[in-house]
Amino acid sequence: MSNPTPETILGDLRYLQLLSRSFPTIAEASTEIINLEAILNLPKGTEHFLTDIHGEYEAFQHVLKNGSGSVKRKVNEIFGHTLRENEKKELCTLIYYPEEKLQLVKAQETDIDDWYLITLNQLVCVCQNVSSKYTRSKVRKALPREFSYIIQELLHESSVEPNKHAYIHVIISTIISTRRADDFIIALCNLIQRLTIDSLHIVGDIYDRGPGAHIIMDTLYNYHNFDVQWGNHDILWMGAASGNEASMANVIRMSMRYANLATLEDGYGINLLPLATFAMEAYANDPCTIFTPKLTFADGDYNEKTLRLITQMHKAITIIQLKLEAAIIDRRPDFGMTDRKLLHRIDFERGVFVYDGKEYPMRDTHLPTVDPADPYRLTDEERQLMDKLRASFMNSEKLKKHIRCLFTYGSMYLVCNGNLLFHASMPLNEDGTFKQVNIGGHTFAGKALLDRTDQLIRTAYFDEEGEEKQFALDYVWYLWCGADSPAFDKEKMATFERYFLDDKAIAKENKGWYYTLRNRADVCDYILREFGVTGQHSHIINGHVPVKTIKGEQPIKADGKLLVIDGGFSKAYQPETGIAGYTLVYHSHGLQLVQHEPFQSRQTAIEEGQDIKSTAFVVEFTSQRMMVKDTDKGQELVTQIRDLEKLLVAYRTGLIKEKSYL
C-alpha cells in the first residue's frame, strides 16, 4: 500500500475526526504506530483447542492449568539438570494448584523461609520465560493489582546483573519477611497459567454425561480469552434455557441416563422433586430395568434406593420426551420427521413394535401413561409436571448467566488464523457439493446454512414471543436430532430404538456424507474456500465423533487438512477411544496434537504430583517462526497502523488540528 496523501484521505475525514479523539496529537498517534509495529514482530500467542469435554471438569481444569503439558516442558527447559525430577514435579504441582500445595508444603517443611526464597526465585524464572513473547502492556493487564509493581520489577530485571542482584534479593526477602509469600506465590502461579495459554477454543459439547458442566462454565466465564463453537449438546441446553420443553426433557433424560444430577440440581437449582414424586407413583411396581443408569460417573455415590428412584425418573422423562417431540413433528411437517413418531407403532397386546411390515419384540411394554388410542397426549399429571420443570428452567439465574455467556462468546463456527472451526458437520451431497437444506421455506447451504442456524438459535432465546420465535424454538430442537442439522447430520436419532428394541440394525444411526467425504483433501479445500480460508496451512477442526485410537483410527485426516480432536475427554467414551482426549496446540512454531491419558483426580494431582500423562505429536512445523503480523490479529493491527498514518497526514496538512490539553 502506498503512503497516504491528503487527496487519498479526504473521504475518510469523518472517521479520522473520531480517531483523533483517542490520539489527539501527532506525538500520541506516532507513539501508537511505533507500539503496534513492535507488536507485529512478536511471536504469535499460543492457541489451545479442546472439544467434547462433556462435564469432565477436573480433567478440563487440569489441562488449562498445565497448558496441555506446556508448563512441564517449560520447567524442564529452564531447570534441565539443575533440579531433580522430583523437584521439578513439585514445582509443576505448585504452579497448577498453588493454594492446596502450599498447605501441604507448610505442614512438612522445617525451614519454610528457605523454601520460600528458593521457590520464589524459581517461579520468577518460569514467569519470565512464559511472559517473554508478550508486550509489557499485555503482561501488566494480566497482573493482580496488589502485586503489579513488584512482579513487573521482578520480570524485567535480571538478578545476574551485579547492580541488580541485591535489589532483586531484597524484594524477595521482604516479601517473605512481611508474610506475603503465600499470596505472592499464588499470584505468580496464576499468572504463569494465564500466560501459557493466550487463547482457548472450545469446539463444542461442554454439556451432558459428566458431572460438572456448570463448573466448566464458571471457569470459562472468568477466563481471559476464549470462544465456543456450539456442539449439539450445548445447543440442546440453549434450547432448554430458551423454553423448548422437548429440549428440557432431553436434558433431564441425559442426566438420568448417566446418574448425573449434580449439574441440574447443584449447578442450576432445577427442582427435580416433582419428577421424582410423579415417577414413584407412575412406576411404583415397575422394575424399569432397561432404564438403569450408566454409573460411569456416579459409581459408589448413590445407594440402591436412590438408584431405583433415578431409574424410575429416567423412564418417566423418556416417555414424556417422546410425546413432546411428537408435538413438534406434527407442528412442523417441513422438518420431515414423521417417521420419528413411534409410540403408535407399539402393539401393546402382543408386546411388539411394528415398523415397515416387520415386528420387533419390545423390551418393555409397561407404559401406564401411554394411551394406545391417543399415545402422544400428555396426561394431566405429565402436563403439570412439565409446567413445574419449565418454570424451574426459566427461573434459574445461574443457567441464564451461563447461556448468555455461550451466546456472547459462542457461534456455530469460527475462522481464526487459517483454521475453520465447527463442531460436527457440513451437510454435503454424495458428490461432495453442499446440500441444500430447507428452513422455513427457504434453502441454505454451506456457510449460509451455518449463519442461518446461528441466527435461529439466537432468535429462540432473545426474541419476543411470536411466530418467528416459536419456529426458532422448534428448530433449535431439530438441530439436536434432525437429519440435515449441521450439529448432528445423521438420518435419525434412535432414542426409542436404543431403549426399547434389541435389534441393533434398526437402532443404527447412519451418518451424512460429510463424515465420509471429509477424508478427502479436495472436499476439505472446497469447504475452506466457502469460508474464505485459503493457503497451505489451512485446516478444518472438528469434534463430535470420538476418534477410536484403540482401533487404529487417526485424528489427522485428508492429508492433514482436517483434524478431529474428540479423543474421549468424557469417561463414557474412553473405553471406545482408548485415551482421554486431545488438545490441539497452535504456537509460533506450528501445530502440535497432544494426546492425554486418563486423569485420576485433582486430589491425586495435588498430593502425589500426578500430572496427566500427555504425548505430543507434531502436525505441522514451520521453519520460520510465526509472528503476530502473520495472524488475523496482525491484519487488524496493520489496518490500525494505516489509519493512524492517515491521521498523521491529516494533522501535518492541517485537515485536522491537534487537540490541546490546555
pLDDT tens readout for residues 362-409? 999 999 999 999 999 999 999 999 999 999 999 999 999 999 999 999
Structure confidence by residue, pLDDT tens digits, 422-433: 999 999 999 999
**In whole angstroms, how far apart are CA 329 and each of 335, 338, 472, 579, 618?**
7, 6, 14, 39, 47
Cell triple for 274: 416433582
Whether 54 is covered by a domain: the verdict is: yes
Smallest CA-to-CA distance from 319 within 380, 379, 388 is with 379
Co-location of 169 and 72 in the same domain: yes
- Tell me 105's DSSP state: H
Co-location of 14 and 139 in the same domain: no
Whether 81 is covered by a domain: the verdict is: yes
Query: Is it the case that residue 662 has pLDDT exceeding 60?
Result: no
Structure confidence by residue, pLDDT tens digits, 283-295: 999 999 999 998 6
Co-location of 14 and 138 in the same domain: no
Query: Is it the case that residue 359 has pLDDT exceeding 90?
Result: yes
Quote the pLDDT of residue 552.
87
Query: Is it the case that residue 263 has pLDDT exceeding 80?
Result: yes
CA distance 193 to 199: 12
Burial class (CB in 10 A: 0-12, 13-18, 19+), 38: exposed
The residue to which cell 504430583 is assigned? 609
Co-location of 34 and 53 in the same domain: no
Provide the domain limits for residue 593.
Answer: 47-203+543-626
Greater confidence (575 vs 476) lies with 476
Query: Is it the case that residue 173 has pLDDT exceeding 60?
Result: yes
Whether 559 is covered by a domain: the verdict is: yes
Quote the pLDDT of residue 160.
58
- Across the range 119-138, mean pLDDT stands at 89
Query: Is it the case that residue 14 has pLDDT exceeding 50?
Result: yes
Query: Is it the case that residue 601 has pLDDT exceeding 80?
Result: no
- Mapped onto helix, strand or coil, the DSSP state of residue 436 is coil
- Structure confidence at residue 568 as a pLDDT band (50, 70, 90): confident
Co-location of 105 and 118 in the same domain: yes
655-659: long-range pairs with CB below 8 Å, 24+? 655/6, 655/9, 655/10, 655/13, 655/16, 656/13, 656/16, 656/17, 656/20, 658/24, 658/25, 658/26, 659/20, 659/21, 659/24, 659/25
Provide the whole-model pTM.
0.93
Structure confidence by residue, pLDDT tens digits, 322-341: 999 999 999 999 999 999 99
- Structure confidence at residue 535 as a pLDDT band (50, 70, 90): confident
Co-location of 83 and 173 in the same domain: yes
Pair 229, 388: CB distance under 8 Å: no
Co-location of 29 and 78 in the same domain: no
The residue to which cell 490479529 is assigned? 633
Q: Name, of 79-88, 124-133, 442-451, the range with top average pLDDT.
A: 442-451
Co-location of 166 and 59 in the same domain: yes
- Mapped onto helix, strand or coil, the DSSP state of residue 616 is strand
Co-location of 24 and 100 in the same domain: no
Q: How many CB atoms lie within 10 A of CB 15?
A: 13
CA distance 425 to 435: 11
Quote the pLDDT of residue 132.
86
Q: What's the structural domain count of the chain?
A: 2
Co-location of 97 and 29 in the same domain: no
Quote the pLDDT of residue 100.
93
**In whole angstroms, how far apart are CA 645 and each of 1, 16, 20, 42, 636?**
12, 10, 12, 21, 14
For helices 85-96 and 112-131, what crossing angle results, to 10°? 80
Can you say whether residue 300 is alpha, beta or left, with left for phi > 0 and alpha for psi between -120 and 50 degrees?
left
Q: What is the chain's mean pLDDT, rounded? A: 91
Co-location of 71 and 26 in the same domain: no
Quote the pLDDT of residue 299.
47
Burial 533-562 (b: 16+ CB within 10 A, else e): beeeebbbbbbbebbbbeeebebbbbeebb
